C-alpha cells in the first residue's frame, strides 16, 4: 500500500461527474476573463510547459524580470483576476479546516506533454493553511517527497475529480507532475489536464489542522 507523507490527504473521486462538468464551465468563464499565459522562470526566462491563469484576490505569476510572486492583476491584460467560483470555495470549506477563505486559486493547464518539475510552494506567508488541489480532465502521475529536494518521494496517479489537501508537516514538501496520461478522460473536449490550487497567501492565521 502506498503511504503518503504526513499532512497529505488524497481524496479520489471527491467531485462526481456532474460537479466536474459544472466546475469546468466555471473555469472556462475564468479563462475567458483572464486568458491562459505562459509563465517563465526567474532569471533564465525558460518557459514552463504548463499554461496558467488565476482567480481570486491574488494570483501567482512568474516571469524572467520579476520572478515568482503574487499580484492582484493579470500580467498581460492588467485587469484584476475574476472571483473564485462558489463551487471551489465550497471544496475549501469542506476540506481545508481553515476558517479563512482562500485568497488565490492558481489554474494550471497541461497539454499532453506538459509536466511540472519538483518544487515547493513557498511564496505564501500563511503557511499554517493547507493548499487544496483539484484535478480535472486527463490523469497525471503526481510525485511528492519531503521538505528537502533529495528526500525520498512517492508517486501516485491523480484522476479527474480527485482532490489533494496538502498541509501541516507537508505544506512545504517538494512535489511535481511527472507526466500526463493523454486521453484518459473525456471531460475536456480537446483533452489535457486542469489543476486548481486554492491557497491562503497573506498573514498567518490559525487553522485547525
Residue 164 contact partner, candidates ligand MD6, Fe ion, none, CB within 5 to 8 A by sort of partner: ligand MD6
Q: Choose between 64 and 122: whose C-beta lies nearer to Fe ion.
A: 122
Residue showing cell 526566462 = 45
Q: Which residues bind Fe ion (CB under 5 A)?
A: 121
Q: Choose between 79 and 108: whose C-beta lies nearer to ligand MD6.
A: 108
Rounded to whole angstroms, how far apart are CA atoms 6 and 67?
30
Q: Provide CB contacts within 8 A for 152, sequence distance 6+.
A: 145, 146
Residue 23 contact partner, candidates Fe ion, ligand MD6, none, CB within 5 to 8 A by sort of partner: none
Q: Choose between 121 and 128: whose C-beta lies nearer to Fe ion.
A: 121
Q: Which residues bind ligand MD6 (CB under 6 A)?
A: 108, 116, 121, 131, 133, 142, 164, 166, 175, 177, 195, 197
Rounded to whole angstroms, how far apart are CA atoms 30 and 142?
25
Residue 166 contact partner, candidates Fe ion, ligand MD6, none, CB within 5 to 8 A by sort of partner: ligand MD6
Q: Choose between 81 and 170: whose C-beta lies nearer to ligand MD6.
A: 170
Amino acid at each position: 500500500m502506498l503511504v503518503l507523507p504526513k499532512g497529505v490527504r488524497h481524496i479520489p473521486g471527491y467531485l462526481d461527474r456532474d460537479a466536474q462538468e459544472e466546475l469546468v464551465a466555471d473555469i472556462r468563464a475564468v479563462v475567458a476573463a483572464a486568458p491562459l499565459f505562459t509563465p517563465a522562470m526567474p532569471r533564465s526566462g525558460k518557459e514552463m510547459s504548463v499554461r496558467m491563469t488565476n482567480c481570486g484576490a491574488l494570483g501567482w505569476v512568474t516571469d524572467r524580470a520579476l520572478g515568482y510572486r503574487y499580484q492582484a492583476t493579470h500580467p498581460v491584460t492588467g485587469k484584476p483576476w475574476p472571483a473564485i467560483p462558489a463551487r471551489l470555495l465550497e471544496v475549501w470549506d469542506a476540506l481545508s479546516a481553515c476558517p479563512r477563505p482562500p485568497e488565490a486559486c492558481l489554474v494550471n493547464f497541461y497539454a499532453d506533454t506538459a509536466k511540472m518539475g519538483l518544487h515547493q510552494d513557498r511564496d505564501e506567508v500563511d503557511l499554517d493553511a493547507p493548499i487544496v488541489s483539484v484535478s480535472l480532465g486527463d490523469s497525471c502521475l503526481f510525485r511528492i517527497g519531503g521538505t528537502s529536494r533529495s528526500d525520498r518521494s512517492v508517486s501516485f496517479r491523480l484522476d479527474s475529480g480527485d482532490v489533494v489537501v496538502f498541509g501541516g508537516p507537508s505544506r512545504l514538501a517538494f512535489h511535481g507532475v511527472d507526466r500526463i496520461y493523454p486521453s484518459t478522460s473525456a471531460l475536456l473536449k480537446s483533452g489535457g489536464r486542469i489543476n486548481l490550487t486554492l491557497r491562503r497567501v497573506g498573514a498567518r492565521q490559525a487553522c485547525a489542522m
